[in-house]
Chain A
Amino acid sequence: MNNRILGALRSPITFSVLAGVLIGALFLVGTGADPVAAYEAVLTGSLGADGIGSTLTTGTSVLGMALALAIPLRAGLINLGGDGQLVLGGITAAVTGLYSPLPAPLTVVLALLAGMAAGALYAALAALCENHFGVPLLVSSLLLSYPAVSLASYLARYPLKEPGSSLPQTRALPDGVALPAFGDSTVTWGLVLVVLAAAAYWFTDQRTAIGYEIRMTGLNARFSAYAGVERRGLTLKLMSVSGATAGLVGAIGVLSFPYRFVDGSLTAPGYTWTGLTAALLATAAPLGTVIASFFFAVLQVGGLAMERTTEVPRELTQVLQAIVIVFLAARLRFPSRWFNRRKEAV
């Protein structure tokens, strides 16, 4: 067998994904479903003509959040406050969209920037907590997330609530204050923005000095500190960029269908956690993050299709995602002995 194929098969990522799919199949058999039919439903439901638009829409949010988490993760920092930054970005974009006196196209740009700024400032707050008070980033970012989500929920339910509606949502944005969609689909220019962000991340990571510093810090924080990387500054910068990306995702969510801030609609699908899973799976490498995000978007959308056709609960795909990461975290891989023995036999 070709050595490169063998190497890829033995990589922990391949192993983890295969293990996830296999254990998922066991679950399916356990519930009396046909695993082949269920997995087929996942694939056709997410990549078929009916599902691909939905996959790309979900993929926009998943990739955006995956980038938000990958950027600090590359330096070994984990931002667990994605939900708070995402929601603040969304509500800020909604307020900007509703009250901006500018013409519609400029308002869209302003709303995107405002959403990014809100996310960036909030994430920077978590970084300051670590830098100046010694509260670990993991904890400060996560704890800060809850009040942000509560605040946005309060705003959408009381001061900004659409009059006369029974739903916890703001008024719809004025005509034209929306990201242009491709044809009749739900896929908007948000996808382009997120892909551009991914490209910028790839370029920074691979081709610039700061990208190198970030990777070095991730590989060995003490060595890079010795080499002159200023850790506090780096934490603050990375968290700001991370929060801005999460805020962008929130703004995109509001500037796309249903063109308003709906309480829970940004956090309920679990983009933050799916994004974190994707970033972890790819060890925050730019290209890998894109691929992993697409993979998880397929799982998420395909899970709904599977539920419709085979009556297997869609939560199974969430189980699958987590199993992949559990295996990966334990750095399991095909034991090399298996292959060596096989070689000797041949």
Chain B
Amino acid sequence: MFFDSDLLMSALRALTPILLAALGGAICERAGVFNIGLEGMMLMGCFTAVATSWFTGSPWLGVLAAALAAAAYSLILAVGTVTLRGDAVVLGVAMNLLAVGLTSFLLRTIFGVQGTFDDPSLAGLPLIGGLSPLAYLSWAAVAVAAVMLSRHVWGLRLRGVGEAPDAAATLGVSPAKYKYAAVLLSGVLCGLAGAQLALGNVTLFTENMTAGRGWIAVVAVMLGRALPLGVLLAALLFGLAEAAGFRLQGLGLPQQATDAAPYVVTLGALFLTTARRRRRVRPSSTGAAS
């Protein structure tokens, strides 16, 4: 059978890193910071997780270090866009490039290998019911983010900062503080996403191992309209596409076709949702706005 519990489990494994990163992106979006550096932050998380786990023998310290390192890395975006008012898109692109270069450089200087670091003594995360603890954490994070953003005063202020920074400022809420917090939080979540990718799904580090997942996360934020539950659904769609791709590969489809599947599915979903949204909007704004 094509749709069975194995497929679902493999989809759940595939969606965890996307979900964590996309949740970070959604929080940034709500605070009014466009974050396309998710890919780079995740990659920094991957490398730090593997390096720390290898040197300390503890995958948990790896997870912690990944979160801290990616948060520190996210400071580039926070300082660049909030304090120095730089261009978020250019900064994000540069951060993604820097992460690829930096992790490959460190891989060679620290481990002396090129391409992949894969050692039997490298400790990965334990599995609980077939999934890493970070998978459960990611679902909890969705719930927490949903409650925070819709109920808690901190989340409401964050949204206020994103939607009307001047109005928020007149109420005594510092937009800069909330934006910094949102970006740093996205760093932590991307770090966890990276740790999951490098110590949960597999136990190794490969150059550029995020391979576009950070970009998928950016799209998931758009698809899910920066709502935690929407982001969860978008990530699930991607996870299913990736899992179905693996399954089809097992049935003899060439790897290239299945590699492309998640991107095509994501693009298709983006089409459908934006096209439908537009049609709904059209009657009120007769032609002129479109």
Q: Is A158 an interface residue (CB 8 A)?
A: yes
Q: Is A185 an interface residue (CB 8 A)?
A: no
Bound together, the chains give a CA A193 to CA B94 distance in angstroms of 29
Mask: chain A, 128-169; 1 = CB below 8 Å from B; 0 = not: 010001111011101110110011011001100000000000
Residues of chain A within 8 A of B91, CB atoms compared: 326, 329-330
Contact B260 A316 (CB under 8 A): no
Contact A315 B259 (CB under 8 A): no
Q: In the complex, which residue of chain B has the Cβ closest to the Cβ of A130?
A: B274
Listed residue (A143, A144, A319) with the most chain B CB atoms within 10 angstroms of its CB: A143
Mask: chain B, 75-91; 1 = CB below 8 Å from A; 0 = not: 01001100011110111
Contact A133 B274 (CB under 8 A): yes
Q: Is B169 an interface residue (CB 8 A)?
A: no
Residues of chain B within 8 A of A68, CB atoms compared: none
Residues of chain A within 8 A of B257, CB atoms compared: 150, 154
Q: Is A321 an interface residue (CB 8 A)?
A: yes
Residues of chain A within 8 A of B102, CB atoms compared: 315, 319, 322
Q: Is B47 an interface residue (CB 8 A)?
A: no
Mask: chain A, 109-136; 1 = CB below 8 Å from B; 0 = not: 0000000000000000000010001111
Residues of chain A within 8 A of B275, CB atoms compared: 133-134
Contact A319 B93 (CB under 8 A): no
Stretch at the interface among A98-106, A252-260, A272-280: A272-280
Of A31, A147, A329, the contact of B94 (CB 8 Å cutoff): A329
Contact B89 A322 (CB under 8 A): no
Residues of chain B within 8 A of A313, CB atoms compared: 104-105, 108-109
Bound together, the chains give a CA A316 to CA B106 distance in angstroms of 9
Q: Is A234 an interface residue (CB 8 A)?
A: no
Contact B98 A326 (CB under 8 A): yes
Contact A329 B256 (CB under 8 A): no
Residues of chain A within 8 A of B215, CB atoms compared: 139, 142-143
Given A138-B89, A313-B108, A321 contacting B101 (CB threshold 8 A): yes
Residues of chain B within 8 A of A153, CB atoms compared: 256
Minimum distance in angstroms from B9 CB to a CB of chain A: 25
Q: Is A78 an interface residue (CB 8 A)?
A: yes
Q: Is B137 an interface residue (CB 8 A)?
A: no
Mask: chain A, 4-31; 1 = CB below 8 Å from B; 0 = not: 0000000000000000000000010001
Further 17 A-B residue pairs, CB within 8 A, beyond A133-B275, A326-B94:
A78-B93, A133-B274, A134-B274, A134-B275, A136-B222, A144-B267, A146-B260, A150-B260, A151-B256, A313-B109, A315-B108, A318-B101, A318-B105, A319-B105, A322-B94, A322-B98, A330-B86
